[in-house]
Amino acid sequence: MQELEVINILKNSLNFSDHSIDKLKKFTHLVLKENKNYNLIAKSTENQIWLRHILDSAQLVKFIDFNFKSLADLGTGAGFPGLVIEIFNNNKAFHVKLYEKSPVKRGFLIKVIKELDLNAQVFGDVRDEVLDSDIITCRAFKKLDQVIQVSREIAKKPHKLMILKGQNAQKDIKKSSKTKKYPYKLESSMTNKDSKIILMEINK
């Protein structure tokens, strides 16, 4: 699936505006340009950036209530899914917070936010920061039981957890629920028939 096909899905299935699509084009250009110097995304996925990174991240907007105050993206890397969600977001009262421990990647995120005039904030390692968002997302952060542990121990209030996972999602949930069970739903991914999106309610 190439750029034009993905853009068609973003506009028709996920309601991305033309303005948002323009920003996504600039964002992908910045990622690919910077990827020549630093490993922001795997080199093997560069030619599939619209499918593997943009659409994979963008599909989360279907499950986000933008009337909440803020969203935290843990281990955001080059800004996936956090910056893609922010590019879609039209509510100025809704804040996207990006947590990334790599100084190089934080520098890149700050550059993108400035160049694209986005309403997002960049923070360091989540364990050294205050986590007070209503929604927490992550894509390639840690194993599920570790993500739950981080969100349970560090987050200041009940929140929704949205995790993009591969084909082992159900097995990971079973493993993580040995300590404490949380209500969850599994949604199918738009980018891979075997991948899932875990939607979990973490009640303190």
Supply the CATH number for residue 154's domain. Answer: 3.40.50.150
Q: How many CB atoms within 10 Å of residue 93?
A: 11
Q: What pLDDT score was predicted for residue 204? A: 61
Do the domain assignments include residue 17? Answer: no
Do the domain assignments include residue 10? Answer: no
Give the predicted TM-score (pTM) of the model.
Answer: 0.93
Do the domain assignments include residue 185? Answer: yes
Q: What pLDDT score was predicted for residue 190? A: 95
* pLDDT tens-place values along the chain, 204 residues long: 789 999 999 999 999 999 999 999 999 999 999 999 999 999 999 999 999 999 999 999 999 999 999 999 999 999 999 999 999 999 999 999 999 999 999 999 999 999 999 999 999 998 888 899 999 999 877 777 788 777 777 887 889 999 998 767 777 777 666 566 788 899 999 998 888 899 999 886
Q: How many domains does the chain have?
A: 1
Q: How many CB atoms within 10 Å of residue 117?
A: 7
Torsion angle of the four alpha carbons 70, 74, 79, 80, in this order, in degrees rounded to the nearest 10: -100
Do the domain assignments include residue 54? Answer: no
pLDDT in tens, 104-124: 999 999 999 999 999 999 999
Do the domain assignments include residue 1? Answer: no
Do the domain assignments include residue 3? Answer: no
Do the domain assignments include residue 98? Answer: yes
Helices (H), 100-192: 103-116, 144-154, 169-176
∠ CA 142-105-190, nearest 5°, is 55
β-sheet bridge partners, residue 187 = 197
Domain that holds residue 157: 62-202
Percent pLDDT > 70 in the chain is 94
Q: What pLDDT score was predicted for residue 152? A: 78
Do the domain assignments include residue 7? Answer: no
Helices (H), 35-81: 49, 56-58
